[in-house]
Amino acid sequence: MPGLRAPSDYKEEPSRHPALVINSKEPFNAEPRRADLVSSYVTPVEFFYKRNHGPIPIVQDLHKYSVLFTGLKGSSKELFMKDIWKLPKYTVAATLQCAGNRRTAMSKTRKVKGVGWDVAAIGNAVWGGAKLADVLELVGIPKCSHVTSNGGKHVEFVSIDKCKEENGGPYKASIPLSQATNPEADVLLAYEMNGETLNRDHGYPLRVIVPGVIGARSVKWLDSINIIAEECQGFFMQRDYKMFPPSVDWDNIDWSTRRPQMDFPVQCAICSLDDKSVAKPGKITIKGYAVSGGGRGIERVDVSIDGGKTWVEAIKSQKAGNPYIPDGENSDKWSWVLFEAEGDIHGSTEIVAKAVDTAANVQPENVEVIWNLRGILNTSWHRVQVRMGHSNL
Ligand SMILES: Nc1nc2c(c(=O)[nH]1)N[C@H]1C(S)=C(S)[C@@H](COP(=O)(O)O)O[C@H]1N2
Ligand SMILES: [Mo]
């Protein structure tokens, strides 16, 4: 690919904020500290989690960079950045969450495979770019298509990074054509994040953003887009990011029995406290985030200061006059809410939060019942142990 280059080692990585908690250095996987995550509704780029499977690609010549479209009715087409920039620009506020968020806590039940994450493999950004539905229309696929005239039903995104899971090949994933061509699904080919040009870590020059879906489908550093009949057969679709029941382990797994995970379930986490928090008796403030997948909003967040015996409803804040977010009914449809509650504690205790989405889905009480060998989608009630003593809050 002229214009974009994928290094095979880690000598040319971008610089990163020193306050990030690094979970793996090569490939670079890092998340902000809990308290930094909820200090603003829109996550600053430098505090946004970084999830990679190989070295970060480098743009050598933006004018030569193009995305190749294959599987069209006629011959393949190439689009350059100038073609993408010409399309109407949309800004979509959307929360991106790694399916591995909260994996470390799941691994305490039983061993799981994958990079350990605390609760901050998630962020809320304002993505700017062209709608994929407009881009596909430009290459000849009408809006709201379920199947193309030559039998295409899925849209595959292929990157150029070198991933060991793909034997040195690129990261790839797909989404259904119906979602890709539906303007209301707000799938973007994004070139901006929070009003700035996308940076290398997050997919410069062009990435996909699939709102409401696990981060794994939002492919960074796009190289080609293929219209295909069956869903993408790559590692990250077929042998990873699938949700198995607790009875399945490495000795009895059959990957073909499950579909690739798409929407993420209802989730929340407390970010103002962790298991090292020490408090004095008296008022305690509990802050965190809540989000659900598929465009379902958050109906309610319940907080308990006695390990789940009694609950109070937290106050939610959303959007709150953020200058990046355009007004309009659905402008926060794909975004998290931040929540806050207060309680009065008298002794060491367990603080718990659980969210309910607009379809009345609620988080599961225990992590044990959703344990899975890859440690994905830990959405169990979030619990924090707070001790009494000389306060460090
Ligand atoms: N090309 C490419 N795209 C990728 C990945 C990757 O390793 N390579 N990781 C995916 C995963 S698992 C997640 S959670 C998100 C993370 O995006 P971020 O690093 O911008 O937060 O990107 C996705 N897109
Ligand atoms: Mo991820």
Instruction: Please report whether residue 68 resides in a domain.
Output: yes
Q: Are residues 337 and 240 in the same domain?
A: no
Indicate the pTM of the whole model.
Answer: 0.97
Task: In whole angstroms, give the CA distance from residue 283 to residue 262.
Answer: 40
Asked, for residue 301, whether it belongs to a domain, the answer is: yes
| Residue where a domain terminates, one of 197, 224, 257 | 257
With respect to residue 393, please indicate whether it lies within any of the assigned structural domains. Answer: no
pLDDT of residue 325: 59
Q: Which residues contact 353 (CB under 8 A, 6 or more apart)?
A: 268, 269, 270, 286, 288, 290, 301, 302, 303, 304, 314, 339, 381, 382
Give me the residues near ligand 2 (ion), CB cutoff below 5 Å: 51, 98, 215-216
Environment class of 254 (CB within 10 Å of its CB; exposed 0-12, middle 13-18, buried 19+)? exposed
Please identify, by atom number, the ligand 1 atom nearest to the C-alpha of residue 54: 7
Do residues 307 and 237 both lie within one domain?
Answer: no
Residues 253 and 271 in one domain: no
- Tell me, yes or no, whether 198 lies in a domain: yes
Give the pLDDT confidence score for residue 220 in this predicted structure. 98
Query: Of 206, 235, 257, which marks where a domain is finished?
Result: 257
117 in a structural domain: yes
Number of structural domains the chain divides into: 2
pLDDT the model gives residue 331? 72
Range of the domain at 367: 267-388
Residue 238 backbone zone (phi > 0: left; psi -120 to 50: alpha; other: beta): alpha
Question: Ligand 1: which of 22, 29, 37, 53 to mutate, judged by most atoms within 8 Å of the beta carbon?
Answer: 53
Q: In this structure, are 249 and 272 located in the same domain?
A: no
205 and 287, same domain (yes or no): no
Of ligand 1's listed atoms, the one at least distance from the Cα of 161 is: 1
Q: Same domain for 167 and 306?
A: no
- Return left, alpha or beta for 196; rule: phi > 0 is left, psi -120 to 50 is alpha, else beta: beta
Instruction: For residues 13 and 142, state if they share a domain.
Output: yes
Q: Cα–Cα distance between 193 and 202 in angstroms, integer? A: 9
Ligand 1 atom 1 nearest Cα: 220
Partnered with residue 385 across adjacent β-strands are: 350
Which residues line ligand 1 at a C-beta cut-off of 6 Å? 48-53, 96, 98, 159, 161, 171, 202, 215-216, 218-221
3-state secondary structure at position 4: strand
Same domain, 187 and 307: no
Q: Is residue 262 part of a domain?
A: no
pLDDT in tens, the chain (393 residues): 679 999 999 999 999 999 999 999 999 999 999 999 999 999 999 999 999 999 999 999 999 999 999 999 999 999 999 999 999 999 999 999 999 999 999 999 999 999 999 999 999 999 999 999 999 999 999 999 999 999 999 999 999 999 999 999 999 999 999 999 999 999 999 999 999 999 999 999 999 999 999 999 999 999 999 999 999 999 999 999 999 999 999 999 999 999 999 999 999 999 999 999 999 999 999 999 999 999 999 999 999 999 999 999 999 987 655 555 555 555 789 999 999 999 999 999 999 999 999 999 999 999 999 999 999 999 999 999 999 999 888
DSSP state of 259: P
Q: What does the pLDDT read at residue 326?
A: 59
Residue 272: CA count within 13 A, CB half-sphere: 18
Residue 304 lies in a domain: yes
124 lies in a domain? yes
The CATH code of the domain that includes 338 is 2.60.40.650
Q: Do residues 148 and 251 both lie within one domain?
A: yes
- Collapsing DSSP states into helix, strand and coil, what is residue 156? strand
Q: How far is the CA of 208 from the centre of ligand 1 (A)?
A: 10
Same-domain pairing of 253 and 308:
no
Q: Spell out the residues 6+ positions from residue 383 whose beta carbon is closer than 8 angstroms to its own.
A: 307, 350, 351, 352
Residue 369 tokens read as 């019942």
Q: Give, for ligand 1, the residue of 43, 98, 202 to mutate: max count of ligand atoms closer than 8 Å to Cβ.
A: 98
Alpha carbon distance 323, 136 (integer Å):
30
CATH of the domain at 39: 3.90.420.10
Query: Which spans in 274-322 are helix H?
Result: none
Do residues 221 and 330 both lie within one domain?
A: no
Final residue of a structural domain among 257, 287, 310 = 257
> What does 226-248 look like in DSSP terms, one character per residue?
EEESS---SHHHHSSS----TT-
* 29 and 155 share one domain: yes
Cis peptide before 27 (omega within 30 of 0): yes
Q: Which atom of ligand 1 is nearest to the CA of 159?
A: 1
Instruction: Determine the pLDDT at residue 324.
Output: 57
Atom of ligand 1 nearest to the CA of 57: 1
Quote the pLDDT of residue 130.
98
Give the pLDDT confidence score for residue 120 in this predicted structure: 98
